Amino acid sequence: MQRAIEPARFYEERYASKQEISKFVERVMQAWIVKNAIGPKILDSGCGDGAVTAPLARKYVVTGIDVSEKNLRNARKLGLHAVRHDFCLKKLPFRDEEFDTVVSNQVIEHIYDTDFYLEELHRVLKRGGVLLMLTPNAVSLTDRIRVLLGRLPITCEISMRYKLGSSEPPNGHIRPYTFPELRHQLRRTGFKVVGERTTNFPFPVYWNVPNALKQAAVKMGQILPSFGGQIMMKAIRK
């Protein structure tokens, strides 16, 4: 009989590898983060390998935290000040109001106590500072079609070991989000939501189509953000 998988070990051994995400979508998210972040001190909470916030590290002091030492080694090579930390369970190892911007990209969907996580991000962010939150949209157009067909949304998982009922390998998602739910939780935590968007209208960017169609998918996503694959929310700490 196999032993239960501890969350920290799961992320260290399995989630440390590069997530399966469209490079085009990743570039859209990165461009939005770079455009909206302010310095001089930035926290990348769940920095992964550091690639997304690496452009910011060229002009600001970017601190990245992650549970995977493998990821952190790469983040350091890209210029981040990388710190190993299990933010699922412990307070962030930073002073109150230490950062001008906090980036949380593809993290909150993995957190058991999301209220504690957001409260910690709120604590270390300066008053008037910027929170950039990105997480999968559980009710994208693709997922609405899946539910009508009797299937789970793509990002909802029932197994940490096997690919069961989802088009993605297990990534440890336990908290599905929609735009209204994330907006409400951020407000309850003391943030003011000042901007919302998505990456793209779901389908074209994942197909082998001309770049013009991909760009059109991005623009369509701004018209109908609730149908997009990713929630991208900008908030200010009150």
Residues with Cβ within 8 Å of 73's Cβ and at least 6 positions away in sequence, in order, are 82
* Strand order from edge to edge, sheet including 191-197: 81-84, 61-66, 41-45, 99-105, 125-136, 230-237, 191-197
CA Rg value for the chain: 17
pLDDT digits (tens, 9 = 90+) for 67-94: 888 889 999 999 999 999 987 778 999 9
Task: Identify any residues that bridge with 84 across adjacent strands, giving them in sequence order.
Answer: 66
Contact in structure between 20 and 106 (CB atoms under 8 Å): no
| Cα–Cα distance, 136 to 157 (Å, whole number) | 13
Output the pLDDT for position 166.
66
| Per-residue confidence in pLDDT tens, the chain, 238 aa | 577 777 667 776 655 444 445 788 899 999 999 999 999 999 999 999 999 999 999 999 999 999 888 889 999 999 999 999 987 778 999 999 999 999 999 999 999 999 999 999 999 999 999 999 999 999 999 999 999 999 888 888 888 888 776 666 778 889 999 999 999 999 999 999 999 999 998 887 877 888 899 899 999 998 999 999 999 999 999 9
Output the pLDDT for position 165.
67
Contact in structure between 222 and 176 (CB atoms under 8 Å): no
Output the pLDDT for position 20.
47
Contact in structure between 71 and 47 (CB atoms under 8 Å): yes
Contact in structure between 154 and 168 (CB atoms under 8 Å): yes
- Taken as a whole, the chain contains a residue count of 238
